Amino acid sequence: MKPVVVVGSGPSGVHFALTLLRKGRPVILIDVGHARPAHVRAEDTFAALKRNLDDPVEYLLGRQLEGVTYPGTAGEYYALPPGKDYIFRTPGRPLVQAKGFAPLFSYAAGGLAEAWTGGVYPFNNAELAAFPFDWADLEPAYGEVARRIGISGRIDDDLSRFMPVHDAILPPIDLDRHSRRLLDRYDAARAKLNDAGCWVGRSRLATLTRPLGGRRACEYLGRCLWGCPVDALYTPSLTLDECRTYPEFRYVGGVFITHFTVDSARRIRALHGRHADASPFEIAVDRLVLAAGALSSARIFLESLHRVSGQTARLPGLMDNLQVLVPFVNFDMIGVPYEESSYQYHMLGLGLETERPEEYVHGQITTLKTTMAHPILNGLPFDLRTSRRVFRHVRSGLGLVNINFHDTRRDDCAVSIEPGRNGDAGTLIIEYREDPAENEHARRAVSRVRKALRRLHCYAPRGNVHIRPRGASVHYAGLLPMMERGGDYTTTPECESRDFGNLFLADGVTFPFLPAKNITFTLMANAIRIAETF
């Protein structure tokens, strides 16, 4: 039996591979695969790390202090610690030019989801209306993902109206004091908030509340941002490790894939790339699965198409979730002692109903816990000593709502390729134009969120609302959409290319619509769905 060749070790690639391996099918997975550094002092809490490390400054802020946010720096509230630099390390010169879009790429073992915050939100039938299948077709795969990775949450609260129920949901993470207070306030104000179309409930998280395999349940160490040292917070590299236990699995790391070549019938016969030392790489292919992430899979497709036919194609329909960050302070929590031992990421979600159900607005509510305090201190209008005193007093009441919006395929959001010279790989050209109606849609949603926060006894300063650059959500999709019937540059409902007969695309590049939810859970489920057809 010839092996299936998979490119990419992100959530789609590893779950596609594991599904085939469990069916006895051989798999070769090809990846650049920058590895995660080993965890340090796995039993320590965040505060204990600062006490016990020989050089906590280097670990927390970086050898060159690259983790420091200096005064006057504008923009993102989120920043990755130096220990996660490997996720965004590139294998060579940049191969992308972007206009109206700030793309992020990862060549890490596990991909971009090595840095995710663990939100798992299944798509419902309204959100799947543009897909060539519905919830019933995807439900078994959602349940299988939940059994593999562990998902905690509630299925009987108000947010569940937007989240279909699948198998294998564990009990929820323990709430921190601030999140519990917000939920209590919501219970008291539920009727008025629901009348305004606002609903609050527990986040569903890819975080264990019970041991699973060799992974331990969350121990509330406050180290989520730096990487969970007990692997309670799922990342795809854990499934990659499971794939390695199968004798039918072969992992080829340190390889950057550039293109494939085809025979006269336009069936792929070989995959090409380069090793880390720039030497050429080539492997024969029977069936090829691209799961390198929507932009990287599109790049390989376009580069190959150009080399096969001389065509310089343009793929329209690039999508990404607009994200707006709304910081707030909870007056009920001012002066309350800071809670160190807690899960660091969001524990609550917020949903806004809209006239069209598929345009639901999704928010994630994160209360401030263990984090780097200096970016917040920099933003206070006081001297350092006063800022520290103010921060200590209000710290327990600080929080952030990350509001996500849906996106649709449009002709003026596209990718193409500028061919390279002398056989070099080409440059991916990305163009993204905002939908003029979206600014008003976002403005109304932010206003609704600020009003809801007031009902929860919180204040969200209008001037601190931050619209993230398009591309920052890394929920990329839409360039080779799956359709029941379609022409060139589309895929079948089983995500098989209509341009190359033995090519399958298993990542977000095939999604025909992008709901306002984190897509990682659905990426994994869809990959399993496709693999089951092999």
The pLDDT tens digits of the residues spanning 149-194 come to: 999 999 999 999 999 999 999 999 999 999 999 999 999 999 999 9
> β-strands 287-290, 503-505: how paired?
parallel
Does residue 19 form part of some domain? yes
> β-strands 249-252, 27-30: how paired?
parallel
Domains in the chain: how many in total?
1
Q: Say if residue 289 is exposed, middle or buried (CB neighbours under 10 Å; 0-12, 13-18, 19+).
A: buried
Neighbour tally for 533: CB within 10 Å: 11
Note every long-range contact of 135-142, with CB atoms under 8 Å and residues 24 or more positions apart, other chains counting. 135/164, 137/529, 138/522, 138/525, 138/526, 138/529, 139/164, 139/166, 141/524, 141/525, 141/526, 141/528, 141/529, 141/532, 142/166, 142/167, 142/521, 142/522, 142/525
Does residue 381 form part of some domain? no
Does residue 351 form part of some domain? no
Q: Distance (Å, rounded) from C-alpha 41 to C-alpha 48?
A: 9
- pLDDT by 10s per residue, the chain, length 534: 899 999 999 999 999 999 999 999 999 999 999 999 999 999 999 889 889 998 888 888 887 767 666 655 555 666 678 888 899 888 877 689 999 999 999 999 999 999 999 999 999 999 999 999 999 999 999 999 999 999 999 999 999 999 999 999 999 999 999 999 999 999 999 999 999 999 999 999 999 999 999 999 999 999 998 899 999 999 999 999 999 999 999 999 999 999 999 999 999 999 999 999 999 999 999 999 999 999 999 999 999 999 999 889 999 999 999 999 999 999 999 999 888 889 999 999 999 999 999 999 999 999 988 776 766 766 666 677 877 787 788 889 999 999 999 999 999 999 999 987 776 788 999 999 999 888 899 999 999 999 999 999 999 999 889 999 999 999 999 999 999 999 999 999 999 999 998 999 999 999 999 999 999 999 999 999 999 999
HEC assignment per residue over 260-280: EEECCCCCEEEEEEEECCCCE
On whether the CB atoms of residues 331 and 397 are closer than 8 A, the answer is yes
Going by C-alpha positions, the residue among 241, 237, 292, 15 that lies closest to residue 114 is: 237
Does residue 455 form part of some domain? no
123: Cβ–Cβ under 8 A, 6 or more apart, which residues?
A: 135, 138, 515, 517, 522
Neighbour tally for 441: CB within 10 Å: 16
CATH number of domain containing 253:
3.50.50.60
Going by C-alpha positions, the residue among 500, 499, 102 that lies closest to residue 320 is: 102
Average pLDDT, the chain: 93
Does residue 166 form part of some domain? no
Does residue 22 form part of some domain? yes
Query: In this predicted structure, what is the pLDDT of residue 480?
Result: 98
Does residue 222 form part of some domain? no
* Domain region containing 123: 1-34+102-150+234-312+476-534
Does residue 437 form part of some domain? no
The pLDDT tens digits of the residues spanning 335-383 come to: 998 888 899 999 999 999 999 999 999 999 999 887 767 667 666 666 7
